[in-house]
Structure 1
Amino acid sequence: MEGKIPRIVLTGGPCAGKSTALSILRQKLPEFGYSVFIVPEVATLISEKGIKIGEIMVRSDLVSQFERHVLQTQLALEGIWEKFALTQPGDKKVLICDRGAMDIASYVDWSVFLALAGDLGFSIFDLRDRRYDAVFHLATAAEGAEEHYNLDNVARYENPQQARERDKKTLAAWDGHTYRRVIANVEGDRQISFAEKMNKLLAEVCQSLKIPVPLVEIEKKYLVDLGTDPAQLPVVPIVFEIKQTYLMSSQPEWERRVRERREVASGEMLYTYTEKKAVRPGVREQPERVITEKEYRDLLEQRDPNRMQIVKKRYAFWWSGQLFELDFISSPTQLVVLEAELTDEQSQLVLPPFIKRIKEVTDDERYTNARIAAGTCPGYG
């Protein structure tokens, strides 16, 4: 992947978790120093503007013509995104495509796709191997996590059986790519949680970019001396300004929140919406998606009056092969917290000696964001 911007594809069957996955990648990869550029899914763009894809796909006289336009649009968007990504500062960049050119082969006969590609001057090798550095396939929820399958996306029209068939066809469309990884919903006989699925994807993407792989299931959190001066850190951190707001929920077991994040160096803004839901006793799902600034402002009207907005500045830095996040919380209380997600290159955590820790609070629920926002965190008391 050296010498150019890595271009990776996030694909999979319907209701596989791509929206949440893109949100996670857009948040986490900048903490490793990467600028992330996401090429949007063509089908979703079309559906959001009023075109009913489901009605087109049942008409044999329209499918081929429609997919030809989708392919042309896909290739054009990738070219535009890469062109302008090259103009952006920084030497660590990644282009993430919300589906890629080969996905179209799962919607038409193979002979039809070969003809489409040929008419546009491309071979399969061009559209699959030469174009993309890595492909990550998320399995549809209809395969192994049926209770979570839904039609929430405007571009989604398949029932569960159709979703399973589409998933298999999409997987087959990318057969032959030398760097393809499949993120399933099961491990052996065990259904994994959605959080585990997202963790596995993040680890695979990091591995493809040669980033030490975070094992996000293993997280450590420490309360740090309030007098810590970030200007005196003997490392060069990436700095983010973050505002997190909890929203009202009609379901007591649901937790809703929005987050505004600004990267200080570039000024880039990122807005996300998260719902934390209790699926069954002891298991909670936490789907997250990137939203527009307008959606963010609108959702702020639903803020929970019983919880205060959390305002903090985050300093993300590497020490001894490990990524650390040092959060300076200024509201609703003053706290300094150090967090680390262990990596596969670091079996034992080596804590930075230049940060004065008060105590470990990894398993202390009083120091969660929810408790901080509710005003019930004990702080340094």
Structure 2
Amino acid sequence: MAKITKIALTGAPCSGKTSIVERLAADFYTENRDVLICPESAYEVIASGVGRDDYIVFETLVAKKQLENEAEILKKAEQSKKDEVVVIYDRGVTDCFSYVDDKIALAENIGMNVVDSWARYDALIVLEIAPESEYFSTSARIETYKEALEYQKRLLDVSVGHSHLRYVKNESTFDEKYSACRAEIESILSGYEIEKKFLIEYPDLASLEKYNPFKAEISQTYLLCAVGSHRIRKRGSNGTFTYFETLKIRVTGSCAEETESIISKQQYDELMKSADPDKNTIVKDRYCFLYDGQYFELDVFRFWDDRAFLELELKSENQSFKLPPEIKVIEDASDDFHYKNSYLAGLKL
């Protein structure tokens, strides 16, 4: 079976999403790689004559149509004769939650909540809305620019927390914005994780509330492994969890080749039987937030009350970034194995 990578691409109205999706499909198609596009389901629902007077009803229909489209596209992907398939979703189920205030009602209607929806996509890319001078309406795009900006905020509110979120800001030209988006996907498909990790003073979490962080509960267990680091992770919030299996082989201090897959709870429980007896399960709270267009993950551990970690993924070694001013850095720990989770798991803390 082909290796399938599922990438949801989304953004506020007039973010360039549809044009970018079409270019990505053409650019990433190769002799050994197929690229499939899952179409935006909202247009299909609107074309069927359904109005948007009741957003719970409308978004329920959109989400159900999206699930049908995703099942169909994954079936095609699984039948591919190529070595690799990239599925690009022109919006995902997660989007539907951004349009409704009663997210619990929508979750009940479609049988999944926001956290559940994240697990459907290996990566989630959010595009920034175009400047107001470039904004225009269509028969389907009925929002004013002010309303579109509000939607962008709501979209980020339901997207921040995904374990592989990327945010693509506007550039001087649309071609530059496309290139930035393409670079993010190249990074995702490369299998290499370029991570910066900072040891920081224990943060004033209240001061970070302005960034509207999403809090995730994580339990990370290391398995017996002869090569690299083999781990399983339970990650979620408010009783809803997703389970991951990850094999990481370090290339340099800050760069690792990583293979990660979502597994079932049954698989997770079975793999727990292979836990390394010399390592403790790492339990931490992760606060995910955006600052200056960069996605940050702040890890607070149960065994430290004076320090924490701040991490971010980069698409290249020389990518520039800014740290939030509220963060007090002790040192750059990217290349220090003493601060790898696998090493900390072996200590009596």
Coarse TM-score class (shorter-chain normalised): 0.5 to 0.7
- Per-residue CA shift, 1:258-293, capped at 9, x if unaligned? xxxxxxxxxxxxxxxxxxxxxxxxxxxxxxxxxxxx
Larger radius of gyration: 1
Q: Does the alignment pair 1:64 with 2:56?
A: yes
Q: Which residue of 2 aligns with 1:42?
A: 41
Q: Which residue of 1 aligns with 2:114?
A: 124
CA 76–84 in structure 1, closer or farther in 2 if over 3 Å, else same: same
The 3-state SS of whatever aligns with 1:6 is: strand
1:198 to 169, 174, 178: 178
1:211 CA displacement: 7.3
Q: Which residue of 1 aligns with 2:154?
A: 169
The 3-state SS of whatever aligns with 1:131 is: coil
Q: Which amino acid aligns with 1:69?
A: L
1:6 CA displacement: 1.3
- Per-residue CA shift, 1:124-183, capped at 9, x if unaligned? 33211x211101111111xxx22111114x321111111111111111111210111111
CA 21–211 in structure 1, closer or farther in 2 if over 3 Å, else same: farther
- Per-residue CA shift, 1:46-70, capped at 9, x if unaligned? 33x363x7xx33x3xx221111111
Q: Which residue of 2 aligns with 1:139?
A: 128
Identical columns (%) = 34
Gaps of 5+ in 2: 193-314, 318-349
1:32 CA displacement: 7.6
Instruction: Tell me how far apart the structure 1 counterparts of residues 121 and 68 of structure 2 sit (CA, whole Å).
Output: 15
Q: Which amino acid aligns with 2:43?
A: T
1:344 CA displacement: 6.3
1:24 CA displacement: 1.2
The 3-state SS of whatever aligns with 2:186 is: helix
Instruction: Tell me how far apart the structure 2 counterparts of residues 344 and 65 of structure 1 sit (CA, whole Å).
Output: 43
Q: Which amino acid aligns with 1:88?
A: S
Is the CA contact 1:7–1:94 (under 8 Å) kept in the aligned structure 2? yes
1:205 CA displacement: 0.9
**C-alpha RMSD over aligned residues:** 2.7
Instruction: Tell me how far apart the structure 1 counterparts of residues 153 and 175 of structure 2 sit (CA, whole Å).
Output: 23
CA 123–162 in structure 1, closer or farther in 2 if over 3 Å, else same: closer
Q: Which residue of 2 aligns with 1:16?
A: 15
Paired residues, what number? 197
The 3-state SS of whatever aligns with 1:8 is: strand
The 3-state SS of whatever aligns with 2:176 is: helix
Q: Does the alignment pair 1:97 with 2:107?
A: no
2:169 to 184, 187, 198: 184
Instruction: Tell me how far apart the structure 2 counterparts of residues 344 and 177 of structure 1 sit (CA, whole Å).
Output: 21
The 3-state SS of whatever aligns with 1:97 is: strand
Is the CA contact 1:11–1:136 (under 8 Å) kept in the aligned structure 2? yes
Q: Which residue of 2 aligns with 1:87?
A: 79
CA 150–35 in structure 1, closer or farther in 2 if over 3 Å, else same: same
Is the CA contact 2:45–2:62 (under 8 Å) kept in the aligned structure 1? no
Gaps of 5+ in 1: 187-191, 213-342, 346-381
Is the CA contact 1:32–1:211 (under 8 Å) kept in the aligned structure 2? no
Q: Which amino acid aligns with 2:155?
A: T
The 3-state SS of whatever aligns with 1:5 is: strand
The 3-state SS of whatever aligns with 2:124 is: strand
The 3-state SS of whatever aligns with 2:125 is: strand
Q: Which residue of 1 aligns with 2:219?
A: none
Instruction: Tell me how far apart the structure 1 counterparts of residues 62 and 56 of structure 2 sit (CA, whole Å).
Output: 10
1:115 to 99, 105, 115: 105
Is the CA contact 2:2–2:78 (under 8 Å) kept in the aligned structure 1? no
Q: Which residue of 1 aligns with 2:28?
A: 29
Instruction: Tell me how far apart the structure 2 counterparts of residues 195 and 211 of structure 1 sit (CA, whole Å).
Output: 25
- Per-residue CA shift, 1:236-259, capped at 9, x if unaligned? xxxxxxxxxxxxxxxxxxxxxxxx
* Deviating 4+ runs (over 3 angstroms): none
Q: Which amino acid aligns with 1:162?
A: E
Instruction: Tell me how far apart the structure 2 counterparts of residues 198 and 15 of structure 1 sit (CA, whole Å).
Output: 14
Q: Which residue of 2 aligns with 1:273?
A: none
Q: Which residue of 1 aligns with 2:234?
A: none
Is the CA contact 2:6–2:123 (under 8 Å) kept in the aligned structure 1? yes
CA 32–179 in structure 1, closer or farther in 2 if over 3 Å, else same: farther
Instruction: Tell me how far apart the structure 2 counterparts of residues 102 and 137 of structure 1 sit (CA, whole Å).
Output: 11
Is the CA contact 1:135–1:181 (under 8 Å) kept in the aligned structure 2? yes
Is the CA contact 1:114–1:124 (under 8 Å) kept in the aligned structure 2? no
1:116 CA displacement: 2.1
Instruction: Tell me how far apart the structure 2 counterparts of residues 27 and 43 of structure 1 sit (CA, whole Å).
Output: 23
The 3-state SS of whatever aligns with 1:209 is: helix
TM-score, structure 2 as length reference: 0.52
The 3-state SS of whatever aligns with 2:4 is: coil
Is the CA contact 1:104–1:113 (under 8 Å) kept in the aligned structure 2? no
Q: Which residue of 2 aligns with 1:77?
A: 69
